[in-house]
Amino acid sequence: MTQKDIIIRKIQAQDNKAIAGVIKAVFIEVGLPLTGTAYEDADTTAMFEAYQDDKAVYFVIEQQGVVVGGAGIKALNDGNALVCELQKMYFSPQIRGLGLGQVLIQKCLQAARDFGFEKCYLESATQLKAAIHIYEKVGFSHLSQSLGNTGHFACGVFMLKDL
């Protein structure tokens, strides 16, 4: 499997069930907390609808017609209007290690710049070491506390990047 076998596109309404399945499967696979995380967010089962604001976009990764991952950009809830959040970046096991994390992050960060955001925030879990490594590699710095009001009280990693 290579990157050329992959399509990255904006989410469509019919992708909701598939991307929710990917997100929830990663939580179970890695043993992440289900409460206080994206696992129980209402948005997780209605991703298309959740990213319909003017300054929001969610991209899915499609492999042979099947949604196998995604990530999005949205204004940080209850935060500074110039700060967005990189949200719900999860990949099925078969596409990990292909460099798609960096590709998708760069696509999201470009969208954030195009929307006029000046900083990008994210939250993660300490168990997601490979993801955190990618975030660091593309220039995210660790913060000592959370920003905004994401409702993800079980997340222990907070990061920010200047755009």
Number of domains in the chain: 1
Q: Name the DSSP letter for residue 154.
A: T
Q: Residue 127: what residue type?
A: Q
- Per-residue pLDDT, 82: 96
Tell me how crowded residue 96 is: count the other CB atoms within 10 A of its CB.
15
- Per-residue pLDDT, 75: 96
| Residue 29 to residue 96: CA distance in whole angstroms | 14
Q: Residue 68: what residue type?
A: V
Q: Can you read off the two tokens belonging to residue 116?
A: 């006029």
Residue 133's nearest CA partner among 105, 93, 95 is: 105
Tell me how crowded residue 31 is: count the other CB atoms within 10 A of its CB.
9
Q: Which structural domain, as residue segments, surrounds residue 23?
A: 3-162
SS3 of residue 32 by DSSP = coil
DSSP per position, 126-152? TT-HHHHHHHHHTT-EEESS--S--S-
Who has greater pLDDT, 139 or 150? 139
107-147 residue pLDDT tens: 999 999 999 999 999 999 888 898 999 999 999 999 999 89
pLDDT value at 1 more than 60 = no
17-65 residue pLDDT tens: 999 999 999 999 998 888 887 888 889 999 999 999 999 999 999 999 9
pLDDT value at 74 more than 80 = yes
Q: Which helix (H) or strand (E) holds 42?
A: none
Residue 156: pLDDT band by 50, 70, 90 thresholds?
confident
The CATH number for 26's domain is 3.40.630.30
- Per-residue pLDDT, 152: 66
| Residue 55 to residue 1: CA distance in whole angstroms | 33
Q: Residue 148: what residue type?
A: G
| Residue 158 to residue 147: CA distance in whole angstroms | 8
CB 38 within 8 A of CB 88: yes
80-107 residue pLDDT tens: 899 999 999 999 999 999 999 999 999 9
Confidence (pTM):
0.93
